Chain A
C-alpha cells in the first residue's frame, strides 16, 4: 500500500526525488541522471514492474523548462500507480536517458515520444521515427505545430512527381471539431467550433 511510510522510505536518502503531488496517484519529480537507476529500483525492489505508459508534456515555448517526460508504473502487489515526472534540462534540444534497458516496453514508447515531441533518448537502441516517415521535418505534438499540419513534400518523390500530390494542411473549415458533451447523440456529433469561416471565406474580423 502506498502510504506515508512508503513514501518516506522511498524518498529517504534520495536527493534527486521530490513529491510533485499526490492527487490521483503518487507523482514524483526525478532528475534525468538518476532516472534509469531509480526505474531499476522501482522494478526490482518496489514491485513496480509494469511500465504502463511513457509520454511527454510540452509546457509551451515560454516555459523555462519546456519538455518533461512522464512515466507511469503499476505494481500488482501494491495495486496502484506511480507517476515519474522528469524535466528535460535543455529546451532547445531536449534529451534524457532511455529506460529501455530496464523496461523493454519503453522502446517503442520512446520512439513515439521522439517522433511527436523531438525528445532524444540517449542510449536508445533504435531511436528513429515510428509514426511519421523518416524525413518528416516537424514534431507534430509540439505546441507551435498547427493541428492541420504544414505543407511538405510527399514521402516518395517519384509518386509525388507522377501524381502532383504533396502533404497539404488539412482543411479546418471552422474547426477544430469537437463533440458538445452531455447532449443528445445527434447534437453531440463532432461539429466545427466556429462555423463563421472556412478556407474559402476568411474569418470575419
Chain B
C-alpha cells in the first residue's frame, strides 16, 4: 500500500491540497479554452472538421466555439487576411476579454501564404499578437489539435498571478 502513496492521500493530509496559485489558475484556464472561430477562407472548413465528431476538439476541453468575441478567449484566425479584413480582425480581438490568445491557422494567416499580392496582409501578426502558428494549406485537423495542445502548454507556463496586476500591453509591430 505504501508504494501507492506517492500522490495525495486524504487520510494523511486531510481535505487539503497544497499547490501554487499559478498552477491552479493555469490548469483551469487551459482546460476551458473558448475559441473564437475567425473563419476567413478554406481553413475554416478544416476548423469545422476538427470540431466535428471524427477529430473532436472537445477531447481537449476547447470545443465551446463562440461567435461572440465577448464570450471567447482564443481567436483562431483561419484563412486569408486581406487588408480590408485586417481591421475587422483587430476590432474583434480588441473586444475579447483578457486573458486572450491567438492561433494563426494555415499559411495565409501566418505569412500571407501563396497570396503575395497588393490585397493580402502578409501575416495576421501585423495586427494581432500570435501565440501559435500552424503550417499547412490548409492544415489537417490533427495539426490544429496539436497547435491547441501547444497553446495549452503555453497557458500552463504563464505567470498568471503576477500578470493580474499588470496592464494589458498595447501591441506594436517591431
Give 1 or 0 for each of B121-138: 1 = CB within 8 Å of chain A CB: 110001110000000000
Contact A171 B116 (CB under 8 A): yes
Number of residue pairs across A and B with beta carbons under 8 Å? Answer: 73
Q: With A167-B83, A170-B120 in contact, do A162 and B90 touch (Cβ < 8 Å)?
A: yes
By secondary structure, the B interface counts as loop
Q: How far is the CA of A189 from the CA of B88 in the complex (A)?
A: 32
Contact A164 B116 (CB under 8 A): no
Interface residue? A32 (CB, 8 A):
no
Contact B118 A149 (CB under 8 A): yes
Interface residue? B17 (CB, 8 A):
no
Q: Within residues 131 to 155 of chain A, which ones have a CB less than 8 A from any CB in chain B?
A: 131-133, 140, 145-150, 154-155
Q: How far is the CA of A148 from the CA of B116 in the complex (A)?
A: 6
Q: How far is the CA of A156 from the CA of B87 in the complex (A)?
A: 6
A155, A163, A190: which contacts B126 (Cβ < 8 A)? A163
Residues of the A chain whose Cβ atoms lie less than 8 Å from the Cβ of B172 = 162-164
Residues of the A chain whose Cβ atoms lie less than 8 Å from the Cβ of B128 = 163
Interface residue? B3 (CB, 8 A):
no
Residues of the B chain whose Cβ atoms lie less than 8 Å from the Cβ of A173 = 116
Q: Contact residue range for chain B?
A: 20 to 34
Chain A interface residue count, CB cutoff 8 Å, equals: 29
Interface residue? B24 (CB, 8 A):
no
Closest to B115 in A: A170
Give 1 or 0 for each of B37-51: 1 = CB within 8 Å of chain A CB: 000000000000000
Contact B116 A175 (CB under 8 A): yes
Q: Within residues 104 to 155 of chain B, which ones have a CB less than 8 A from any CB in chain A?
A: 112, 114-122, 126-128
Give 1 or 0 for each of A115-140: 1 = CB within 8 Å of chain B CB: 00000000000000001110000001
Closest to A149 in B: B118
Q: How far is the CA of A167 from the CA of B171 in the complex (A)?
A: 18
Q: Within residues 164 to 192 of chain A, which ones have a CB less than 8 A from any CB in chain B?
A: 164-165, 167-173, 175-177, 190
How near does chain A come to B98, taking the closest CB pair, in angstroms? 15
Interface residue? A52 (CB, 8 A):
no
Contact B117 A147 (CB under 8 A): yes
Q: With A155-B84, A162-B90 in contact, do A131 and B117 touch (Cβ < 8 Å)?
A: no
Q: How far is the CA of A173 from the CA of B116 in the complex (A)?
A: 10
Contact B83 A133 (CB under 8 A): yes
Contact B127 A155 (CB under 8 A): no
Contact B90 A159 (CB under 8 A): yes
Interface residue? B91 (CB, 8 A):
yes
How near does chain A come to B119, taking the closest CB pair, in angstroms? 7
Residues of the A chain whose Cβ atoms lie less than 8 Å from the Cβ of B90 = 156, 159, 162-163
Closest to B83 in A: A167
Residues of the A chain whose Cβ atoms lie less than 8 Å from the Cβ of B162 = none
Q: How far is the CA of A85 from the CA of B119 in the complex (A)?
A: 28
Query: Which B residues form the contact surface with A (CB < 8 A)?
Result: 83-84, 86-87, 90-91, 112, 114-122, 126-128, 170-173
Closest 6 pairs between A and B when the two form their complex, measured CB to CB: A149-B118, A156-B87, A170-B116, A165-B126, A159-B90, A164-B173
Query: Which A residues form the contact surface with B (CB < 8 A)?
Result: 131-133, 140, 145-150, 154-156, 159, 162-165, 167-173, 175-177, 190
